[in-house]
Amino acid sequence: MSITGTGAVIPVHGPIALARPLLEALVGPEVPASERPARVLVVDDASPEPVDPADLPEGVELLRRATNGGFGAAVNTGLRALADGAAHDDSPHDDAPPIPHALVLNSDLQIPPGLCARLVEDAAPFSPAIVGCRLLGADGSSEHAARRFPTIGHQSVEWLVPLASQRHRDVLHRAVGHDLEADRASGMVPVDWVVGALLLLPLREVLELGGFDEGYFMYTEEVDLQMRTRRAGIPSLLDADLAVHHAGGGSARAEARRRRWLVGARMRYARRHGHVHALRAAMTAATGANLVWNSGRRLAGRDVHPLAAAHEELSLIHCAGRGLPR
């Protein structure tokens, strides 16, 4: 597998400035030709102020979506363009060799030199597979790119406010589905799923399965995809020897909106792959525990509003994802 046989898709919604360092790391003048993807596509997911092609580095193609469909829809637009051999009508690539693999990258990533070429090289013996790498936050701490398929237990524990201050502990990481063994390993490690900030995808196989489910606006779409690819015999792997820095939060600046997207996505996943009514019941019970905990904190003089917090949580559990504004 060669990096020159790999396309890159970077979805954006908003100013392109955030993605400039990533684009320069992919196609900048200091990047050797042998380490550049065959094509690099920026997919403008109906940004309020459209991305100007003049603001993109040379060698980067621009696709514009008429409507904001969310992360999965934007990625699918790029994947189909790679498979079809054209980014837009006036830029045909019909004479180019087919692109068997696609790198999907969040626009806020910081990648070291040579990372993409090394990822492609490491993944070659396992192809077709979905491959990711370590994700590091701004402070250098792990964002736990390797995870277990979500369960009702994982999501209920994560919902419990009394445990929030203990989430640095290994037992809590495992309780919410973080695969610590993979995160602390080396080499290529089989995992349930890898976080979608950076993914190497087998292009044909993913599109044959329908690509990302566009019913997810934001969050959990990569989990759904990797559940489907796993059932089709395509594994997910963590390249534990490689790491990128992930700024995070660029697509959901408002916390309330982020929570609606996240809970709505998890309910959709539960409807498709689990038991949504059981999940709602478990999270509702966790909200009851949060109410008791917050009531005690208020009696202790803390500035909390237990009933308002419980009302917000119940609204998310029972309404998120139903007619949610984009």
Please tell me the predicted confidence (pLDDT) of residue 85. Answer: 84
By percentage, how much of the chain surpasses pLDDT 90? 87
Q: pLDDT tens digits for 38-51?
A: 999 999 999 999 99
Cross-strand partners of 147: 178, 193
Nearest to 118 by CA among 285, 244, 295, 268: 244
Question: Which residues 6+ apart lie within 8 Å of 318 measured at CB?
Answer: 280, 284
3 state SS of 114: coil
Please tell me the predicted confidence (pLDDT) of residue 254. Answer: 76
d(CA 234, CA 162): 38
125-141 residues labelled b (16+ CB within 10 A) or e (exposed): ebebbbbbbbbbeeeee
Residue 91 has pLDDT above 70, yes or no: no
Q: Is 1.10.3720.10 the CATH number for 3-150+177-251?
A: no
The pTM score is 0.91
Written as six digits, the tokens of 68 are 């904001």
Please tell me the predicted confidence (pLDDT) of residue 2. Answer: 64
d(CA 44, CA 65): 6
d(CA 308, CA 280): 19
Of 237-251, 265-279, 287-301, minimum mean pLDDT range = 237-251
* Longest Cα separation, the chain: 71
Of 33-42, 89-98, 143-152, minimum mean pLDDT range = 89-98
Please tell me the predicted confidence (pLDDT) of residue 247. Answer: 80
Please tell me the predicted confidence (pLDDT) of residue 321. Answer: 59
66 half-sphere exposure, CB direction, 13 A CA radius:
0
User: Domain locations in the chain?
Assistant: 3-150+177-251
Please tell me the predicted confidence (pLDDT) of residue 326. Answer: 43
Span 112-128, average pLDDT: 96
Residue 305 has pLDDT above 70, yes or no: yes
pLDDT-derived band at 324 (thresholds 50, 70, 90) equals very low
Residue 291 has pLDDT above 90, yes or no: yes
Residue 126 has pLDDT above 80, yes or no: yes
d(CA 169, CA 295): 25
Cross-strand partners of 94: none
Over the chain, what is the mean pLDDT? 92
Nearest to 47 by CA among 80, 25, 69: 69
Q: pLDDT tens digits for 242-270?
A: 999 988 655 545 788 889 999 999 999 99
Q: pLDDT tens digits for 144-154?
A: 999 999 999 99
| DSSP 8-state assignment for residue 182 | H
